């Protein structure tokens, strides 16, 4: 049936890679790597034998992509943090210390450049790494909040002079920032890995939405007036943004 989709997992070098199989009105087979899953598109009229053959080919194709591009491992499985590792965010470097015990939940604290995570011994990969990533994001966000808040308020004072209700750092993988009509400025913690001038651009972009909640010519005029070379910052995000992550 056209439009049918099945979610599954592929065993790639001992790791489970999410996959989506689509059956469509098409004459050929197409494979791609999406943000959250490997994707295979197949014709609706395909025999069971050919379908099995294409699945074997698809699994080998995905394996090749992961072998060629280490970034795919980070995107799907995280960076694989271990006790004693260090993580560099902007100009700051943090030492990681992990303590495992018979507990149900994970928690963490940051003190003097050391991030200590109290982790459940019963949690398994890859969920454990996902939990570590979110904990690191939250703790590093707390460390950077005063600096980011000052930056937002200063850029607003210089260029926009609009009321700001709150400034928030959140682990968001779908965008770099957002701004509500109520004056809530939200920034992704992934942005902390970017150069200062790129962070400034995203802040200016969101602050401009306090005046224009769309992406009209008037909106881009506001951004350009505040940062004439903003297109260079957009280009940086497109080229290197994929490296900005916990």
Q: What are the residues whose beta carbons fall under 8 Å from the beta carbon of 186, sequence distance 6 or more? A: 168, 169, 170, 172, 177, 178, 179, 180, 206
Domain annotation for the chain: domains and CATH numbers = 4-75 (no CATH), 77-140 (no CATH), 144-243 (3.30.2010.10)
Residues 142-164 have a mean pLDDT of: 98
Q: How confident is the model at residue 2 (pLDDT cuts 50, 70, 90)?
A: low
CA distances from 139 to 51, 111, 118, 132 (A): 47, 10, 13, 11
- What is the percentage of the chain residues whose pLDDT exceeds 70? 98
> 166-170 and 184-188: which strand pairing?
parallel
- Using CA atoms, how far apart are residues 104 and 119, in angstroms rounded to an integer? 8
Buried b (16+ CB within 10 A) or exposed e, 189-225: bbbbbbeeebbbbbbbbbbbbbeeeeeeeebeebbee
Instruction: Say whether pLDDT at 112 is over 60.
Output: yes
Would you state the pLDDT for residue 71? 79
Residues 228-232 have a mean pLDDT of: 97
Q: How confident is the model at residue 97 (pLDDT cuts 50, 70, 90)?
A: very high
Categorise residue 178: left if φ over 0, alpha if ψ from -120 to 50, beta otherwise: beta
Instruction: Say whether pLDDT at 142 is over 90.
Output: yes
Please state, rounded to an integer, the average pLDDT across all residues of the chain.
93
């Amino acid at each position: 049936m056209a439009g049918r989709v099945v979610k599954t997992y592929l065993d790639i070098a001992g790791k489970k890679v999410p996959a989506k199989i689509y059956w469509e009105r098409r004459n050929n087979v197409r494979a791609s790597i999406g943000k959250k899953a490997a994707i295979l598109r197949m014709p609706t009229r395909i025999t069971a034998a050919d379908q099995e053959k294409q699945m074997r080919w698809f699994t080998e194709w995905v394996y090749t992509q992961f072998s060629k591009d280490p970034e795919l491992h980070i995107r799907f499985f995280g960076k694989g943090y271990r006790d004693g590792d260090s993580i560099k965010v902007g100009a700051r470097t943090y030492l990681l210390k992990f303590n495992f015990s018979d507990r149900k939940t994970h928690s963490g604290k940051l003190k003097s450049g050391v991030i200590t995570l109290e982790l459940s011994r019963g949690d398994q990969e890859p969920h454990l790494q996902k939990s570590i990533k979110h904990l690191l994001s939250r703790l590093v966000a707390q460390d950077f909040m005063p600096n980011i808040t000052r930056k937002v308020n200063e850029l607003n004072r210089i260029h926009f002079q609009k009321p700001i209700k709150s400034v928030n750092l959140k682990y968001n993988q779908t965008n770099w920032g957002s701004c509500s009509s109520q004056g809530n400025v939200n920034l992704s913690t992934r942005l902390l890995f970017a150069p200062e001038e790129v962070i400034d651009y995203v802040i200016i972009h969101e602050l401009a939405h306090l005046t224009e909640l769309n992406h009209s010519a008037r909106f881009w005029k506001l951004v350009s007036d505040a940062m004439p070379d903003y297109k260079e910052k957009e280009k940086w995000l497109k080229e290197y943004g994929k490296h900005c992550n916990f």
